[in-house]
């Protein structure tokens, strides 16, 4: 009945002394992709960092819970948390050249990875790796294995990182803007590969991005984050097709216009640490701003079945 | 790569000429008469005639350039001259001393690296904890102590207080121990701090987080990845300290009477034994340049990006 | 993915101040040494040779009955002053020469850079020993010997900085508006590299001190009866069992002094690094 691989409940996070996320509640259901969209600095990367729980990421959980397959993550000791990495929870990073050691061959690094999970079986492992590469459409797997990341393009490195995730088959795959550092053509290739990954493995994925098109393509459900608060969430078709919150509406209509101007509401920047502000953090940029917005408490309401928003003024 | 080696070896020539010219020039203008010293060493009375005869015999009455020129031509023929002090061929004396100095230098390097590598990694991983502070303080002290002071203290403690070693170092492993320790202590102090800095910097790089996120066991992260990437920097650090090591060996060899090339140089300087000093300068320069070259090549081999001329990513 | 910030900028600055004050105190002490010594550092006493520390001789006496404490204090004067001199001279000479090379280029640049390469192609201490040994034992010769290679790093730093800055448009603008070359270099270019130059100078002080003491120890630097830590240790090591204070006093003084200057150099370097870091 509860097939949520990851449940985030009323999570509030701080980073560097300020509140970067507040009262976020999200679910990633088994086999589904959850997209988290928003501008830079809205806190979406911090969410992933909190879930991953790597040492030294400096994201502090102030309130709330993260439940992974029934286990409360913050209650786990460090060692147990560390044991989840790679095998249960995997991550694709934004910077493609930086996930692997740039000056050692992929072959050695894949081997170490498999050995760390007790899955290295000599030649048959290499065959398995090449098989993954093929399935994901990566050409010439043998050459890739022999190469070092610094010799390959960003796009290729990202695709290899995705292949590594496929090899490990984590139950939850986190992706932090996997295509933002790539050029447009390569982005499409990588997105194709992610699609294929989804088809082949049925992995549960959380896909953080500011690219609405990618979210629409890959994700069954989407959450919209603004200044650390979830302003809208639900089935992707509904959230992006019939947005309720004014901010989502602005995002959706932000198709590049020929005269180069952004639509009203998207000039300027979200407030830093806006999650701590009283009232609606989007207020100052909102074209539909009303007087009550300053004192309005944050709460998600169901706008229609499977679609929630903290403000429904954006509905047409 | 071959062209680099060739180029560097070619650069050696002006270096050698410049250095030997400098030292020869200094000896020329310096006080102290080698002819007088030689006569004294031989027990001959020093008088106007004997001095004049000695100087003629040693070729010291010729103009500076001629003296230098004849030395140089000798070198090109493979003849480094004969010592003023005892008439033995310079090359043979240097070679014997060189063997011992290389032994000492190698032993010190090995000891320093063997101690500082694990300590450096340990203090980097356990950054800002008690162990880190203690080790860092100790290495700071070790780095600030002059090696002659360390030698004297070690000698006092080991030779006099606990009588574990003889005062004059025999040419054996037992005799090697104290000089090696004296040379190593400042070196390992410096190395530890540098290794720590390199490892810390490496640990902050994104691929370390990436590796951990893939579930890589920590020992793979540390030893196969971080240490591998820092190895080139560490080799450079080691290579760069050879110069200090050679300098320190002069002092340490003199104190412990270790029959190396440094002690030979000191004795020759006191005795104004020009040919030996010249030969010594030349040999030192060659060794030094060769070691720098070797370090450079090793560096390139370990970090392939340097070879291709790429900046880091 | 940040590691814990080592120290805040304020803390680093505090460290620099502490060690700067200590260093200046040491230097001041060195200046005042002749007036502060309890006994005449050169006066020998046949009744008190190798005497243990007592009221009259707080750190004992050496084999000639001279007061160790007084000699250590005078030695401080010698060591600190000579090192500061050599470093200051190297700093000024090296920076000036390097700046000129970088600015004018051409034959001057070629020659000076070749000289630098030659000097650096040889282990520095060994060259110093050779030079000092050949020139003979005296403080001046020791300082020359150490200084021969000491200026090279400043020259390289200054040269590369000037070469980079030369291409900047504002330099051309200043030149056009009639600014003289010298003023140009001093006021516009050098302030940018002042940091690294200063770090190098601070760390070099300790090296110079150890170097000069080493030369004196070998007998080719400061010679007795002048009080100097290195030569004192050399003199005293023959009878170290009988009078360990004769070695430990100058040794300890040397260690503490070098440590203070090294800490100073470290703090200055940290300050520079912290200044360049982006916070957050």
Condensed to tens digits (0 to 9), the pLDDT of residues A141-165 reads 889 999 999 888 888 899 899 889 8
Q: pLDDT: is B259 or B26 the higher one?
A: B259
C-alpha dist (Å) from residue C140 to A228, B19, B248, C87, C89: 68, 21, 22, 14, 13
pLDDT the model gives residue C184:
67
Give the pLDDT of residue B169: 57
Which residues make Cβ contacts (< 8 Å) with residue B90, sequence separation at least 6?
B80, B81, B82, B83, B275, B276, B278, B279
C3: closest chain A residue by CA? A56
Closest CA to C78 of C153, C147, C138, C20: C138
pLDDT at C238: 82
Nearest to B215 among A86, A149, A161 (CB): A86
CA atoms within 13 A on the CB side of A71: 13
| Residues in B touching C259 (Cβ below 8 Å) | 140-141, 144
Strand pairing of A33-37 and A89-92? unpaired
C3 contacts on A by Cβ (under 8 Å): 56
A116 interfaces chain B, CB cutoff of 8 Å: yes
CB contact under 8 A, C1 and A57: yes
Assign 3-class secondary structure to B179-247.
Answer: HHHHHHHHHHHHHHHHHHHHHHHHHCCHHHHHHHHCCCCHHHHHHHHHHHHHHHHHHHHHHHHHHHHHH
The answer to which of A92-101, B2-11, B282-291, C196-205 has the lowest mean pLDDT is B2-11
Question: Where does C2-279 sit in CATH, by number?
Answer: 1.10.3720.10
Question: Per the CB < 8 Å rule, is A56 touching C2?
Answer: yes
Q: What local confidence, expressed as pLDDT, does residue C74 receive?
A: 87
Q: Cβ contact (<8 Å) for A54 and B212?
A: yes
Which residues of C are less than 8 Å from A58 in CB distance? 2
User: Is the Cβ pair A116, B217 closer than 8 Å?
Assistant: yes
Q: Give the length of chain B.
A: 313
Quick one: average pLDDT of C39-65?
A: 75
Alpha-carbon Rg for chain A, nearest whole angstrom, is: 20
Check residue C278 and give its pLDDT.
36
**pLDDT reading at C137 higher than 80:** no
What is the reported pLDDT for A206?
93
For residue C2, what is the nearest residue in chain A, using CA coordinates?
Answer: A56
- Nearest Cα of chain A lies from the Cα of C160 at a distance, in angstroms, of 29
Confidence of residue A300 (pLDDT cuts 50, 70, 90): confident
Q: Is the dihedral of CA C242, C245, C250, C252 positive or negative?
A: positive
Tell if the CB–CB gap between A113 and B215 is shorter than 8 Å.
yes
List C-alpha distances in Å: B280 to B28, B69, B102, C119, C218. 17, 18, 14, 16, 18
Confidence of residue B313 (pLDDT cuts 50, 70, 90): very low
Mean pLDDT of A188-214: 87
Please name the residues in contact with B45: beta carbons below 8 A apart, sequence gap of 6 or more: B39
- Provide the pLDDT confidence category of residue C158 given band limits of 50, 70 and 90: confident
CB contact under 8 A, C123 and B148: no
Coil, strand, or helix at residue A312?
coil
Residue B182 has pLDDT above 70, yes or no: yes
Nearest to A113 among B214, B229, B312 (CB): B214
DSSP per residue over A275-307, as a string? GGSSS-TTGGG-TT--GGGGGPPP--EEEETTE
What's the CA gap between C79 and C73, in Å, rounded? Answer: 10
B209, A54: Cβ pair inside 8 Å?
A: yes
Q: Tell if the CB–CB gap between C280 and A56 is shorter than 8 Å.
A: no
| Banded model confidence at residue B112, pLDDT cuts 50, 70, 90 | very high
Distance CA(A283)–CA(A305), nearest Å, equals 26
* pLDDT tens profile C68-79: 888 888 888 888
pLDDT score recorded for residue B189: 92
A186 within 8 A of A154, measured Cβ to Cβ? yes
The CA-to-CA distance between both ends of chain B, in Å, stands at 23
- Mean pLDDT check: name the lowest of A32-36, A281-285, B232-236, C223-227: A281-285
How far apart CA B247 and CA A140 sit, in angstroms, is: 54
Contact residues, chain C, for B206 at CB < 8 Å:
1
Most C CBs within 10 Å: which of B13, B27, B146, as the mutation test of the C interface? B146
| Average pLDDT value for residue range B172-191 | 86
DSSP letters for A85-149: BTTTEEEE-S-GGGSS-TTS-HHHHHHHHHHHTT---THHHHHHHHHHHHHTT-S-HHHHHHS-G
Distance from C-alpha of C102 to C-alpha of C165, rounded to nearest angstrom: 10
Each residue's pLDDT tens digit, A52-83: 888 766 788 888 889 998 888 888 888 888 88
Which residue of chain B is at minimal alpha-carbon distance from A117? Answer: B215
**pLDDT at C11 exceeding the cut of 50:** yes
Whether residue A263 is predicted with pLDDT greater than 70 in this model: the reply is no
A1: pLDDT strictly greater than 50: no
Residue C276: C-alpha distances to residues B204, B272, C266, C269 (Å): 17, 51, 15, 11
A308 contacts A300 by C-beta, under 8 angstroms = yes
| Average pLDDT over every residue of C205-230 | 87
A260: contact with C, CB 8 A cutoff? no
Q: Do C255 and B144 touch (CB under 8 A)?
A: yes
Give the residue among C155, C148, C182, C150 at the shortest CA–CA distance from C95: C155
Average pLDDT value for chain A: 84
Q: Considering CB atoms only, which of B209, B210, B304 is closest to A148?
A: B304
CB pair distance less than 8 Å for A56 and C1: yes
Taking CB atoms and an 8 Å limit, are A86 and B216 in contact across chains? yes
The pLDDT assigned to C90 comes to 93
Bridge-based pairing state of the strands A204-209 and A18-29:
unpaired
C125 versus B300: the higher-pLDDT residue is: C125
Q: Which subunits sit against A, judged by 3+ Cβ pairs under 8 A?
A: B, C
Given a cut of 50, is residue C1 above it in pLDDT? Answer: no
> Max alpha carbon distance in chain A (Å)?
68
A103: chain B residues, CB-CB within 8 Å: 228-229, 303-305
**Measured between beta carbons, which residues in chain B are less than 8 angstroms from residue A117?**
215
Among A59-68, C66-75, C88-97, C162-171, the range scoring the smallest mean pLDDT is: C162-171
What SS3 class is residue C86? Answer: helix
Question: How would residue B310 be classed by pLDDT, with cut points 50, 70 and 90?
Answer: very low
CB C228 within 8 A of CB C78: yes
What pLDDT is stored for residue A258 in this prediction? Answer: 46
Write the residue in C115, C129, C240 that is nearest to B156 by C-beta.
C240
More confident residue, B75 or A248: A248
Q: How far apart are CA A96 and CA A277, in angstroms?
A: 35
* Sign of the C-alpha dihedral computed for residues C82, C83, C85 and C89 taken in this order: positive
Q: Which of B149, B240, B275, B287 to mutate to test the interface with C (most CBs of C within 10 A)?
A: B149
The pLDDT of residue C279 is 35
Helix, coil or strand: residue A236? helix
Contacts of B225 in chain A (CB under 8 A): 101, 104
Helix axes C190-218 and B227-256, enclosed angle (nearest 10): 30
Q: Beta A89-92 vs A172-176: how paired, if at all?
A: parallel
* pLDDT(A224) > 70: yes
Q: What is the mean pLDDT of chain B?
A: 80
Per-residue confidence band for B74, with pLDDT thresholds at 50, 70 and 90: confident
CB proximity under 8 Å: A 3-22 to C:
16
pLDDT, tens digit (0-9, with 9 covering 90-100), for A171-183: 999 999 888 888 8
Q: Quick count: other Cβ atoms within 10 Å of Cβ C88? A: 12
Residues 6+ apart with CB under 8 A from B42: none
How much is the average pLDDT of C99-128?
83
Q: What is the DSSP string of chain B?
A: -HHHHHHHHHHHHHHHHHHHHHHHHHHHHSSS-HHHHHHHHHTPPP-HHHHHHHHHHHTTTS-HHHHHHHHHHHHHTT---B-TTT--BHHHHHHHHHHHHHHHHHHHHHHHHHHHHHHHHHHHHTTTSHHHHHHHHHHHHHHHS-HHHHHHHHIIIIIIIS--S-SSPPSSHHHHHHHHHHHHHHHHHHHHHHHHHHHHHHHTSHHHHHHHHTT--HHIIIIIIIHHHHHHHHHHHHHHHHHHHHHHHHHHHHHHT--SHHHHHHHHHHTT-HHHHHHHHHHHHHHHHHHHHHHHHHHHHH-HHHHHTPPP-
- The whole-number average pLDDT for the span C79-108 is 88
**Whole-number pLDDT of residue A264:** 55
Nearest by CB to residue B215, choosing from A93, A117, A149, is A117
Considering only CB atoms, A116 lies closest to which of B207, B215, B310, namely B215
When pLDDT is cut at 50, 70 and 90, the band that residue A257 belongs to is very low
How many whole angstroms separate alpha carbon C11 and alpha carbon C6?
10
For residue A110, what pLDDT is reported? 92
**Cα–Cα distance for residue pair A150/B176, rounded to 1 Å:** 46
Helix axes C229-236 and C245-276, enclosed angle (nearest 10): 140
For the ranges A297-301, B255-259, B260-264, C90-94, the lowest mean pLDDT is seen at A297-301
Is some CB atom of chain A closer than 8 A to the CB atom of B29? Answer: no
Nearest beta carbon to residue B146 from set C131, C213, C262: C213
| Spatial contact of C143 and C211, defined as CB atoms under 8 Å apart | no
User: Which pLDDT score, from 0 to 100, does residue A106 have?
Assistant: 92
For residues A90 and C40, the model is more confident at A90
Q: What pLDDT score was predicted for residue B293?
A: 81
Q: What angle do CA B298, B303, B309 make, to 5 degrees?
A: 105
Question: What is the C-alpha to C-alpha distance for residues B19 and C245, in angstroms, rounded to an integer?
Answer: 41
| pLDDT the model gives residue B185 | 93
Least confidently predicted of A11-25, A201-215, B159-173, C40-54? B159-173
DSSP symbols for C197-238: HHHHHHHHHHHHHHHHHHHHHHTSSS-TTS--HHHHHHHHGG
- Sheet strand arrangement including A59-68: A18-29, A4-15, A59-68, A71-72
For B284, which of C118, C126, C219 is closest by C-beta distance? C126
Helix axes C152-166, C190-218, angle to 10 degrees: 170
Chains in contact with B, counting 3 or more C-beta pairs less than 8 Å apart as contact? A, C
Is A119 a residue whose pLDDT tops 50?
A: yes
Instruction: Dump pLDDT digits (tens) for B86-102.
Output: 777 888 888 888 888 88
Q: In what order do the strands lie in the sheet with A229-235?
A: A89-92, A172-176, A204-209, A33-37, A221-226, A229-235, A307-309, A301-304
* CA–CA min distance C154, chain A (Å): 34
Could you say which of A16, A56, A57 has the minimum Cβ distance to residue C280?
Answer: A16
**pLDDT value for C258:** 92
Residue A58 vs residues A206, B23, B205, B206, B242: alpha-carbon distances, Å: 21, 59, 15, 14, 41
Query: At C185, is the pLDDT very low, low, confident or very high (cuts 50, 70, 90)?
Result: low
Residue B8, pLDDT > 70, answer yes
Average pLDDT over residues A252-276: 63
Average pLDDT over chain C, rounded to an integer: 81
**Does the pLDDT value for residue C82 go beyond 80?**
yes
Using an 8 Å CB-CB cutoff, list chain B residues near C241. 156, 160
Q: Round the CA-based radius of gyration of chain C to a whole number and report it.
A: 22
Residues of C in contact with B200 (CB under 8 A): 3
Taking the CA of residue B89 and the nearest CA in chain A, the distance in Å comes to: 51
- Torsion sign, CA atoms B286, B292, B296, B299: positive
- Tell me the average pLDDT across B221-231: 85
Closest by Cα among B168, B307, B228 to A102? B228
Chain B nearest-CA residue for A57: B209
Q: Which of A58, A176, A273 to mutate to test the interface with C (most CBs of C within 10 A)?
A: A58
User: Chain B partners of A109 at a C-beta cutoff of 8 Å?
Assistant: 211
Q: How far apart, in whole angstroms, are the C-alpha atoms of residue B194 and residue B198?
A: 6
Rg (CA), chain B: 24
């Amino acid at each position: 009945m509860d097939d949520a691989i990851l449940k985030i409940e009323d999570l509030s996070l701080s980073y560097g002394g300020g509140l970067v996320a507040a009262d976020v509640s999200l679910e990633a259901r088994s086999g589904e992709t959850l997209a988290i969209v928003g501008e830079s600095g809205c806190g979406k990367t911090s969410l992933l960092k909190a879930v991953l729980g790597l040492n030294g990421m400096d994201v502090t959980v102030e309130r709330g819970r993260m439940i992974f397959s029934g286990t409360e993550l913050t209650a786990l000791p460090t060692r147990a948390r560390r044991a989840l990495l790679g095998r249960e929870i995997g991550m694709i990073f934004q910077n493609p050249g930086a996930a692997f050691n740039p000056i050692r061959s992929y072959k050695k690094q894949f081997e170490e990875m498999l050995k760390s999970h007790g899955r290295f079986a000599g030649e048959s492992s290499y065959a398995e790796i090449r098989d993954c590469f093929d399935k994901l459409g990566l050409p010439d797997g043998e050459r890739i294995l022999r190469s070092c990341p610094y010799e390959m393009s960003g796009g290729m490195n990202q695709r290899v990182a995705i292949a590594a995730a496929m090899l490990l088959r984590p139950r939850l795959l986190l992706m932090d803007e996997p295509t933002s550092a790539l050029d447009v053509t390569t982005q499409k290739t990588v997105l194709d590969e992610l699609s294929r990954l989804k088809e082949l493995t049925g992995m549960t994925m959380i896909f953080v991005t500011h690219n609405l098109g990618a979210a629409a393509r890959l994700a069954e459900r989407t959450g919209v984050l603004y200044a650390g608060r979830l302003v809208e969430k639900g089935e992707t078709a509904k959230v992006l097709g019939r947005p309720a919150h004014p901010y989502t509406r602005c995002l959706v209509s932000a198709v590049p216009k020929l005269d180069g101007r952004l639509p009203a509401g998207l000039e300027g920047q979200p407030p830093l640490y806006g999650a701590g502000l009283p009232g609606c953090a989007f207020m100052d940029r909102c074209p539909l701003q009303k007087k009550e917005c300053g004192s309005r408490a944050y709460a998600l309401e169901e706008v229609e079945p499977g679609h929630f928003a903290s403000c429904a003024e954006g509905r047409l | 790569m071959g062209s680099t080696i060739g180029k560097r070896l070619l650069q050696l020539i002006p270096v050698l000429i410049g250095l030997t010219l400098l030292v020869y020039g200094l000896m020329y203008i310096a006080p102290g008469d080698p002819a007088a010293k030689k006569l004294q060493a031989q027990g001959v009375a020093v008088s106007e005639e004997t001095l004049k005869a000695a100087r003629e015999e040693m070729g010291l009455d010729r103009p500076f350039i001629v003296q230098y020129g004849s030395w140089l031509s000798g070198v090109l023929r493979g003849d480094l001259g004969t010592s003023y002090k005892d008439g033995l061929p310079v090359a043979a004396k240097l070679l014997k001393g060189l063997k011992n100095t290389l032994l000492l230098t190698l032993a010190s390097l090995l000891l320093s690296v063997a101690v500082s590598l694990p300590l450096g990694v340990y203090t980097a991983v356990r950054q800002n904890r008690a162990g880190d502070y203690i080790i860092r303080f100790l290495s700071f002290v070790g780095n600030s102590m002059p090696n002659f002071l360390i030698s004297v203290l070690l000698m006092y403690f080991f030779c006099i207080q606990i009588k574990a070693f003889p005062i004059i170092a025999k040419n054996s492993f037992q005799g090697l121990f104290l000089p090696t320790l004296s040379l190593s202590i400042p070196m390992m102090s410096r190395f530890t701090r540098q290794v720590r800095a390199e490892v810390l910097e490496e640990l902050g790089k994104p691929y370390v987080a990436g590796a951990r996120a893939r579930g890589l066991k920590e020992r793979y992260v540390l030893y196969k990845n971080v240490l591998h990437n820092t190895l080139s920097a560490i080799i450079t650090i080691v290579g760069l300290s050879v110069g200090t090591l050679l300098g320190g060996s002069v002092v340490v060899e003199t104190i412990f009477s270790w029959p190396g090339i440094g002690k030979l140089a000191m004795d020759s300087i006191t005795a104004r034994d020009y040919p030996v000093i010249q030969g010594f300068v030349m040999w030192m320069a060659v060794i030094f340049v060769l070691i720098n070259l070797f370090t450079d090549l090793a560096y390139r081999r370990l970090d392939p990006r340097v070879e291709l001329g790429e900046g880091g990513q | 993915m940040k590691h814990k910030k080592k120290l805040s900028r304020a803390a680093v600055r505090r460290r620099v101040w502490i060690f700067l004050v200590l260093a200046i105190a040491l230097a001041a002490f060195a200046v005042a040494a002749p007036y502060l010594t309890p006994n005449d550092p050169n006066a020998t006493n046949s009744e008190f040779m190798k005497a243990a520390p007592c009221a009259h001789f707080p750190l004992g006496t050496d084999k000639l009955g001279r007061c160790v404490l007084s000699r250590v204090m005078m030695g401080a004067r010698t060591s600190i002053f000579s090192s500061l001199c050599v470093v200051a001279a190297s700093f000024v000479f090296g920076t000036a020469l390097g700046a000129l090379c970088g600015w004018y280029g051409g034959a001057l640049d070629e020659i000076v850079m070749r000289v630098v390469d030659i000097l650096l192609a040889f282990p520095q201490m060994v060259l110093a020993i050779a030079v000092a040994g050949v020139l003979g034992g005296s403080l001046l010769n020791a300082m020359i010997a150490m200084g021969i290679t000491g200026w090279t790093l400043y020259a390289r730093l200054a040269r590369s900085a000037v070469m980079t800055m030369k291409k900047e448009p504002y330099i051309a603008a200043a030149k056009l508006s009639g600014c003289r070359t010298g003023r140009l270099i001093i006021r516009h270019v050098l302030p940018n590299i002042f940091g690294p130059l200063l770090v190098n100078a601070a760390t070099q002080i300790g090296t110079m001190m150890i170097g000069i003491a080493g030369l004196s120890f070998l007998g080719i630097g400061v010679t007795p009866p002048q009080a100097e830590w290195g030569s004192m240790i050399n003199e005293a090591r023959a009878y170290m069992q009988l009078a360990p204070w004769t070695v430990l006093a100058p040794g300890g003084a040397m260690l503490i002094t070098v440590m203070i200057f090294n800490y100073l150099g470290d703090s200055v370097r940290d300050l520079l690094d912290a200044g360049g870091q982006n916070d957050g």
